[in-house]
Chains A and B, each alone.
Chain A
Amino acid sequence: MSAEPIATFESSLDEVGVELVRTSADQFESALTPLLDAPAVGASLPFENVSLPDAVETDPGVEKLEAAKTGVTAAGYGIADYGSVIIQGGPDGEEPASLYADEHVAVVAGSDVLPDMDATFDRLAEDIRSGTGQAIIATGPSATADMGALVKGAHGPVEVTVVLLEDR
């Protein structure tokens, strides 16, 4: 992990209105807790020695999902140039948890921050060929200008925060 893409990532995120919270695996829970508005939902995290606190419901029904204030999921990788995260949706429910809650908290490993779209598509192609059924390049919150002015939060989240695991 070089420092450069991370710095670019942070400023690109800032441009699209997304806060970056830097932490490490052992500090993860204390970094996450202030970001959680109840009720919170999520999908289990794939990072070694990192797990979601009990307050995060990982097997919500439709009603809980729709009422969720926070949704915590992993993101496969980040794109420094664009301030994007790639949400890979699978059987664990990353897609609904990242989509229905008012705020999406995306957890990214520091080593998975890629510099640009070129590098991203190399990774994406590899992942898709080995079976990733769904990859969303998500940049900032959902938005619409269809109602006569720009509104943040259309069908998807109103707010996005990225938690970066610097030692992963």
Chain B
Amino acid sequence: MSVDTRQRKAERIRHLLETEGDSVHKNTQVFNNGRYESTADLEDYEALKDEARAIKEDAIERLPELVDRVTETIEANGGTVYVADDAADANRYVTEVADGRDVVKSKSMTSEEIEVNESLEASGSDVWETDLAEFVLQVADEAPSHIVAPAIHKSREEIAELFNAYFDPEKPLETAQELTQFAREHLGEKIADADVGMTGANFVTADTGTLALVTSEGNARKCVQATDTHIAVAGVEKLVPRVEDLQPFVELIGRSGTGQDITSYVSLFTPPGDSPTFDGDGELGSGDDREFHLVLIDNGRMEMREDDQLRETLYCIRCSACANSCANFQHVGGHAFGGETYSGGIATGWEAGVHGADSAAEFNDLCTGCSRCVNQCPVKIDIPWINTVVRDRINRGTDGDLDFLVDGLTPDEEPGGVDLQKRLFGNFDTLAKLGSTFAPLSNWVAQTGPARSLLERTLGVDSRRELPAFERESLVEWFENRGPRVDPEEARRQVALYPDAYTNYVRTERGKAAVRVLEALDVRVDVPAAGESGRAPLSQGMVATAQSNAEDVYDSLAPAVAAGHDVVVVEPSDLAMFHREYERLLPEDEYAALKDRSYEVMEYVYGLLENGADLDALPEGDDTRIAYHSHCQQRTLDLEPYTVAVLEDCGFDVTTSDVECCGMAGSFGYKSEYYELSVDVGEALVDQFTTENTADRTVVASGTSCLEQLDALLARRPAHPVRLLDTR
């Protein structure tokens, strides 16, 4: 990426942070909190997600058969099914059916994808969006910023200003109530006059030809009721085999999206229906002559179905949980975190599949792989993985030269096209090794003005960020010199402490603390010289390098694992590699062996204490007031409670943050194009740690990135929680 491109990106993000950030943040927060509350009430939440996932896997597997089935069914019901290859094909069919008549629409992202409004208008139809948010955007001539609440970036004041300028009502509109009433009346006339009603479909059942529409406003019902031609536009992936299959989705979709147990209306239409319709002369006429067209859109989906990595995207029910739970999305919204049509975490998969890699490349880097969305997805899609794979493909698709600066620093497995900045961060291990060898000289040089400006210009490393300072003596070297202190014969357990690159070269003090704390609990510790886990290259989309790192790490830890020792990990993002991503990078048995044996350090301490280790061997907390920020990936693995429990058992007084992510996310916050967004996200965490109840508390955080972000933004110096347990 050139300096100019980086600057343009940074400017665009800055602009959106200023203009749309506040509205997006406020509204996504409501959805995000609502989802946590509403899903917590659901007894069988996990089972419902499994069921939903299984239905989608099966449906996509059998998709061609389901298309045939739904075609037969709907034709037998008296409707028509058209399978459109692409957007142009769909638009041609829809405009033929509409034939210049006026169209009222309910919300449909798929109709945005094919841009059907433009085609209809060009063929002489008047088209009105009746979903109030879509209506606002139609008037404003703007694109959706969220897949469920498309005008989420607009405040009430902005909408009032827009309507007053555009419609010039007798009395200026002000409250949300007035705006809603005005839009209802305005659109009510359009609905009464229109001949064609167009809807999307959240689901289509192949056995009965039923469309399920999940809405709250009632406009979709009106669009269908008041017109006698109904066109439904839906991606082919919306098919499910049977009516009964709708049940888990109906229970999950509202909760996962806006955080409502269920939306006001879940409409099950099996068209053509026989409900009376509006005829031309103001009467309610018979509904016997209703016409129905289902347009199923392929537009790249059948190819996605053949693609082992992108296939999962087709399970997506477009609930928006992955957007609402994403810290970056919460701050900048879908106009930055989105492509031509779709926005949020899964948009990378959709855009790559339907519009191509270029559209995905625009925003794909905004997924930092924090994994907060993973447990939120009602169909259990590994959204960060989709982002990684697409990033890898984008990397491979571009040509580039190896630069003298990075050459030699980047002994990776990647082709020449990978962006230099990505290569630099992806090979952090090599960089750290060199930095450590030449420390402290390397630290001094790196911090000088000329070096920083060179780094910023050539590699986009933001000069406002402090660079990590490398330790001359690595953790592995320190341990080699010092040796183990607990006799294996007398040890409670034997462990290999995994020296992740940060703990090994930068924050060695937390590694040393971990060794001493474990030894205090009678554990025999060894620190094998294992390399970087693959997290760094993976986050840059360098999958081949990540895989080779993973293989090396496994080789280094295999002897300990084979001997029945446990593996203890300080850095949560590396433990998350072992537990999640290694499934895709290592042979199954190796993945399983390492996963079963590896623990986060505080989780391990908790386990030791639960199994008889002596709490008195650890220091007394004496009600010391602590503010603890867990790590995003640690939370996804449900490991936050262990740290809190251990600290509380030791007598500390602990309060925790609840932001989704600190905003630093590995290399993300160093990149000059994202620096300001990273800080904006980090400020939300800082706010939580500078309240009356937290401002005086000692700050601890489990992740390296979180520590760096907090260190940069807070006046207090934060530390890893294990250091509170270290008597040194």
| CA distance in complex: A118, B227 (Å) | 33
Residues in chain B near residue A135, CB distance under 8 A: 267-268
- Contact assessment for A90 and B275 in the assembled complex, using a CB-CB cutoff below 8 Å: yes
Residues in chain A near residue B157, CB distance under 8 A: 148
- Contact assessment for B149 and A142 in the assembled complex, using a CB-CB cutoff below 8 Å: no
Quick check: is A60 within 8 A (CB to CB) of the other chain?
yes
Residues in chain B near residue A132, CB distance under 8 A: 270
Q: Chain B 262-277 against A: per-residue CB contact (8 Å), 1 yes, 0 no? A: 1111111111111110
For the complex formed, measure the closest distance between the CB of B357 and the CB atoms of chain A, giving whole angstroms.
33
The SS class assigned to the B binding surface is mixed
- Contact assessment for B155 and A82 in the assembled complex, using a CB-CB cutoff below 8 Å: no
| CA distance in complex: A149, B263 (Å) | 16
Using known A-B contacts A90-B275, A122-B244, A128-B243, determine if residue A137 contacts B270 with beta carbons closer than 8 Å.
Answer: no
For the complex formed, measure the closest distance between the CB of B162 and the CB atoms of chain A, giving whole angstroms.
11
Residues in chain B near residue A138, CB distance under 8 A: 264-265
- Contact assessment for A89 and B273 in the assembled complex, using a CB-CB cutoff below 8 Å: yes
For the complex formed, measure the closest distance between the CB of A63 and the CB atoms of chain B, giving whole angstroms.
6
Option from A89, A144, A147 in Cβ contact (under 8 Å) with B275: A89
Residues in chain B near residue A96, CB distance under 8 A: 225, 275-276, 284
| CA distance in complex: A145, B208 (Å) | 33
Residues in chain B near residue A60, CB distance under 8 A: 284
In chain A between 50 and 69, which residues have their CB closer than 8 angstroms to a CB of chain B?
Answer: 59-63, 65-66
Q: Chain A 83-104 against B: per-residue CB contact (8 Å), 1 yes, 0 no? A: 0100001110111100100000
| CA distance in complex: A131, B250 (Å) | 21
Please choose the segment from B5-13, B86-94, B178-186, B393-401 that sits at the chain A interface, where 4 or more of its residues have CB less than 8 A away: B178-186
| CA distance in complex: A146, B153 (Å) | 10
Quick check: is A125 within 8 A (CB to CB) of the other chain?
yes
Q: Chain A 126-158 against B: per-residue CB contact (8 Å), 1 yes, 0 no? A: 001100111111111111111111110111110
| CA distance in complex: A137, B151 (Å) | 26
Using known A-B contacts A89-B273, A128-B208, A128-B270, determine if residue A143 contacts B283 with beta carbons closer than 8 Å.
Answer: no
* Nearest-neighbor residue (CB-CB) of B218 within chain A: A156
Quick check: is A38 within 8 A (CB to CB) of the other chain?
no
Residues in chain A near residue B264, CB distance under 8 A: 138-143, 156
| CA distance in complex: A59, B258 (Å) | 37
- Contact assessment for B282 and A61 in the assembled complex, using a CB-CB cutoff below 8 Å: yes
* Nearest-neighbor residue (CB-CB) of B271 within chain A: A133
Option from B154, B261, B278 in Cβ contact (under 8 Å) with A148: B154
For the complex formed, measure the closest distance between the CB of B242 and the CB atoms of chain A, giving whole angstroms.
7
- Contact assessment for A99 and B262 in the assembled complex, using a CB-CB cutoff below 8 Å: no
Residues in chain A near residue B149, CB distance under 8 A: 145-146
Using known A-B contacts A99-B225, A148-B157, determine if residue A142 contacts B243 with beta carbons closer than 8 Å.
Answer: no
- Contact assessment for B131 and A146 in the assembled complex, using a CB-CB cutoff below 8 Å: yes
Using known A-B contacts A125-B244, A142-B265, A154-B216, determine if residue A65 contacts B284 with beta carbons closer than 8 Å.
Answer: yes
The listed residue with most A CB atoms (<10 A of its CB), out of B157, B187, B218, B250, is B218
| CA distance in complex: A61, B247 (Å) | 36
Interface residues on A, range: 35 or more
* Nearest-neighbor residue (CB-CB) of A137 within chain B: B266
- Contact assessment for A144 and B180 in the assembled complex, using a CB-CB cutoff below 8 Å: yes
Quick check: is B356 within 8 A (CB to CB) of the other chain?
no
Residues in chain A near residue B187, CB distance under 8 A: 155
Quick check: is A1 within 8 A (CB to CB) of the other chain?
no
- Contact assessment for B221 and A147 in the assembled complex, using a CB-CB cutoff below 8 Å: no
| CA distance in complex: A5, B208 (Å) | 29
The listed residue with most A CB atoms (<10 A of its CB), out of B154, B221, B272, is B221
Residues in chain B near residue A154, CB distance under 8 A: 132, 180, 184, 216-219
| CA distance in complex: A15, B151 (Å) | 27
Q: Chain B 180-211 against A: per-residue CB contact (8 Å), 1 yes, 0 no? A: 10011001100010000000000000011010
- Contact assessment for B262 and A84 in the assembled complex, using a CB-CB cutoff below 8 Å: yes
- Contact assessment for B287 and A91 in the assembled complex, using a CB-CB cutoff below 8 Å: yes
In chain B between 140 and 158, which residues have their CB closer than 8 angstroms to a CB of chain A?
Answer: 149, 151, 154-158
Using known A-B contacts A128-B210, A128-B270, A154-B218, determine if residue A139 contacts B151 with beta carbons closer than 8 Å.
Answer: no
Residues in chain B near residue A59, CB distance under 8 A: 284
| CA distance in complex: A50, B176 (Å) | 40
* Nearest-neighbor residue (CB-CB) of A65 within chain B: B284
- Contact assessment for B156 and A121 in the assembled complex, using a CB-CB cutoff below 8 Å: no
Using known A-B contacts A121-B244, A137-B265, A144-B217, determine if residue A151 contacts B176 with beta carbons closer than 8 Å.
Answer: yes
Quick check: is B251 within 8 A (CB to CB) of the other chain?
yes
- Contact assessment for B218 and A155 in the assembled complex, using a CB-CB cutoff below 8 Å: yes
For the complex formed, measure the closest distance between the CB of A2 and the CB atoms of chain B, giving whole angstroms.
20
Interface CB pairs A-B, < 8 A, 15: A89-B275, A91-B276, A91-B286, A95-B225, A121-B244, A129-B243, A134-B269, A134-B275, A138-B265, A141-B264, A146-B180, A148-B157, A150-B176, A151-B176, A151-B177
- Lowest 9 CB-CB distances: which A-B pairs, in order? A148-B156, A156-B218, A133-B273, A154-B217, A149-B176, A146-B132, A146-B133, A155-B218, A142-B218
Q: Besides the contacts A125-B208, A128-B208, what 19 more A-B pairs have beta carbons closer than 8 Å?
A: A90-B275, A91-B275, A118-B247, A121-B250, A124-B243, A125-B242, A129-B207, A129-B243, A133-B275, A134-B268, A137-B250, A146-B180, A149-B175, A149-B176, A155-B219, A155-B222, A156-B222, A156-B264, A157-B218
